[in-house]
Amino acid sequence: MVSLTTFYLSGIIGKEAFGADGDAIGVIRDLLVNAVPSGQNDPNQQLVTGVKLRIRKESKFYSFKSFRVVKAREMLSVTCTGLTELSNDEVENGLLLVENILDKQIVDMNGRKLVRVNDVRLATLPAGTFAVAVDIGIEGLLRRIGIALPIKRMLSLFNINIPAKFILWDDVQAIDYSNLNIRLSKSYAKLHTLHPSDLADILEDMGKKSSMSVFAALDEEKAADVLEELETHAQIHIVENLPVNKAADVLEKMPADEVADILDELEDDRAEMLLKEMDSASSQEVRELLEYDDDLVGSIMTTDYLSFSATMTIAEVLVELRAKKPEAAELYNMFVTESNDELIGTFNLRDLVVSEPYVSVSEIMKSDPVSLFDDQKVGAIAEIISKYNLLAVPVVDSINQLQGMVVVDDVVEDLINKRRTKKR
């Protein structure tokens, strides 16, 4: 039978450790967990490797191998057979549970939200002592202040239980690694698996310093997706505090209309610096959108759209779509243009899928499509979308040249933002 002792971090911090002769040798201030695994799913990543021990007035780190935690009737005792001091490298490659985890914000990967750690649960096996879960519940908080047992006993008289709330160590991603910035890419690896909107919600709940650290650790593609999902105030904070070259690289990955909305909220000097740092094609698209007044259709249209020649076959269109790998919104409505970009028709994904490969675009397109002028008032958009049940409407200039499209998602978002502004 495997010997197992479970205990909590709060129960061992502040405890005296006793030597083989029974004399107290020091007070436990923190536990060090291995934070650099040798491979994926390595259980040693959560192994307790060291202990911060205060002896007289000095604190040092020692190997945990010679320490033994014994629990009897909910009381813990700690004994030590000898002190082996850890090297600076061993300490730097570890994670201090009190300093870096306890009372810190962490990401609950399953719940996709920020929570605060009230305690850490540990388990001692023949192979060593391991951090197995964090306690984010009320019980953990009560345990910290030493009243968990009496409260639980009192509530049991009324058949009331305090629900336990644990997150397994593997499902935890620490955020507030103030002294571990050199390992951001490893620390935040699991965050990359979250949906951009979930990650955006988490960033908005963080402090400004922590949110910047996490955002800076994302690759450009992920960062662009997350930035697009953030509220305006959070977008501005991120873009203002990122280095200009990093911010420009991220903005280049975003739709031009989204970038224009962000830059429109920045100081002119900062916006101009970013535009100059972006590649010329992306910068020019954004500049053109910024010329529109906020109440005009052109200000919320996107310049990311798909247009094809009427002479192309369905097979040729599909080949081009596979090569471009467009965003979902670009497939809401596809456009047919002449060589001078004049809009002459539209077709949708259904028209494409149900048609034979040899059929030409001219045979499936709808001629004389409903469209909006770029200098129309934005109030006209909702009426057009509602009347014709459209997901995307082409936007043309005064000579019917295609300039972009307005997507229903952007219209809804614009209306929501206006209502929020009114409430404020």
Q: What is the pLDDT of residue 421?
A: 47
If you average pLDDT over residues 268-277, what whole number do you get? 93
The set of residues, in sequence order, having a beta carbon less than 8 Å from that of 210 and lying 6+ positions away, is: 105, 175, 176
- 68 shares its domain with 156: yes
Judged against a pLDDT cut of 90, whether residue 410 lies above it is answered with: no
Q: What is the pLDDT of residue 186?
A: 42
As a whole number of angstroms, the distance between CA 321 and CA 308 comes to 11
The DSSP bridge partners found for residue 80 are: 67
The DSSP bridge partners found for residue 372 are: 395
C-alpha to C-alpha distances, 348 to 158, 333, 383, 405, nearest whole angstrom: 63, 5, 20, 14
- Looking up tokens 């205060």 gives 54
Entry pTM:
0.65
275 lies in some domain: yes
What tokens were used for 151? 């409260």
If you average pLDDT over residues 216-220, what whole number do you get? 85
- 212 shares its domain with 321: no
As a whole number of angstroms, the distance between CA 164 and CA 121 comes to 12
Q: Among 263, 291, 319, which residue terminates a domain? A: 291
239 lies in some domain: yes
As a whole number of angstroms, the distance between CA 109 and CA 101 comes to 16
355 lies in some domain: yes
Which one is predicted more confidently, 175 or 28?
A: 28
- 333 shares its domain with 383: yes
Mean pLDDT of the chain: 85
98 lies in some domain: yes
- 269 shares its domain with 329: no
DSSP state of 81: S
Backbone angles phi, psi at 227, to 5 degrees: -60, -35
Nearest to 123 by CA among 110, 132, 115: 132
Q: Is 66 helix (H, G, I), strand (E, B) or coil?
A: helix
- 227 shares its domain with 358: no
pLDDT confidence bin for 415, thresholds 50/70/90: low
As a whole number of angstroms, the distance between CA 38 and CA 47 comes to 12
- 281 shares its domain with 315: no
What tokens were used for 76? 């813990």
How many residues does this entry show for the chain? 424
- Looking up tokens 């610096």 gives 273
Q: What is the CATH number of the domain that holds 382?
A: 3.10.580.10
- Looking up tokens 């405890």 gives 15
86 φ/ψ sector (left φ>0, alpha ψ -120 to 50, else beta)? beta
- 269 shares its domain with 390: no
- 66 shares its domain with 102: yes
Question: What angle in degrees, to the nearest 10, is found between the helix axes of 208-216 and 196-205?
Answer: 150
- 26 shares its domain with 159: yes
As a whole number of angstroms, the distance between CA 165 and CA 178 comes to 26
Q: Considering its fold, how many domains does the chain have in total?
A: 3
The DSSP bridge partners found for residue 24 are: 18
pLDDT in tens, 134-150: 898 888 788 877 777 77
In terms of residue numbers, what domain contains 67? 5-171
pLDDT confidence bin for 164, thresholds 50/70/90: confident
Q: What is the pLDDT of residue 21?
A: 86
As a whole number of angstroms, the distance between CA 211 and CA 344 comes to 47
What tokens were used for 95? 């994670």
189 lies in some domain: no
Alpha-carbon dihedral of residues 259, 262, 266, 268, nearest 10 degrees? 30
Q: Among 265, 291, 317, which residue terminates a domain? A: 291
As a whole number of angstroms, the distance between CA 301 and CA 292 comes to 10
pLDDT confidence bin for 378, thresholds 50/70/90: confident
Q: Among 137, 171, 205, which residue terminates a domain? A: 171
Judged against a pLDDT cut of 80, whether residue 418 lies above it is answered with: no
Least confident residue range of 34-38, 200-204, 205-209, 344-348:
34-38
